[in-house]
Amino acid sequence: MNGWKIGYKRVSTVDQNTDRQLDGMEFDRVYEDKCSGSTTDRPQLNQLMSDVRQNDEIFVHDISRAARNVGDLNDLVREINSKGATINFVKENLRFTGDKSNPTEELLLNLLASVYQFERAIILERQREGIAKAKQRGVYKGRRATIDKGEIMRLLNEGFSMRKVAEMTNTSLSTVTRAKAEFV
């Protein structure tokens, strides 16, 4: 039985695009997520894992697109291999078939995954330090409010129910509840 040639692409936010990932490659199926790699709850990756069959070959642009930590990456590779499929990381030129006769590939996988995990931790640390410094200088106020709490209170004061206000302001019921609690 011939397997599918499958592409998996991931970006962290909906306003990013995957154009550069696996550019110029042809696939039978492509799965694409637009969500953080820090979560294992990625709908398209979950669907891929559900659909993958023996002899399928999965291609991912680079290790960081598949997972953000060593444990999740190893779990992913093992699960794909346990189904009789192969996973390829194009940028790193690594291929995993489940054949344990090449320990160097497993070492490289873990080493590179550790580097990506470390790099992510450093980025987050720098971000926290920068925010703390900006707060000290009084220039960081947090993200801009996207909810008009005054409008929520006006509608509540006019007698609309919290559920109706949530619907009218295109917010959640919990957002209306929090806004009301701030003004009480």
H/E run at residue 7: strand 5-11
**What integer pLDDT is reported at residue 43 of this predicted model?**
92
β-strand partners of 89: 60, 94
Closest CA to 37 of 63, 57, 58: 63
Q: How confident is the model at residue 33 (pLDDT cuts 50, 70, 90)?
A: very high
**pLDDT value at residue 101:** 75
Q: How far is CA 64 from CA 68, 101, 153, 178, 184, in A?
A: 6, 25, 44, 37, 46
Residues taking part in catalysis: 12
Q: With pLDDT > 70 as the criterion, what percentage of the chain qualifies?
A: 99
142 alpha-carbon distance from chain centroid: 23
47-93 residue pLDDT tens: 999 999 999 999 999 998 998 788 889 899 999 999 999 999 999 99
State if pTM tops 0.85.
Answer: no
CA distance 28 to 26: 7
Paired tokens of 12: 């962290």
Is the distance from CB of 79 to CB of 69 less than 8 angstroms?
Answer: no
- CB-based contacts of 70: which residues, under 8 Å, 6+ apart? 110, 113, 114, 117
- 29-34: strand order across its sheet: 29-34, 5-11, 57-60, 86-89, 94-96
Q: Are 10 and 42 in contact (CB under 8 A)?
A: yes
Closest to 90 in 3D by CA, of 56, 65, 118, 69: 65
Give the tens place of pLDDT for each residue, 105-148: 788 888 888 988 898 889 989 999 998 998 889 888 777 777 88
CA distance 18 to 11: 6
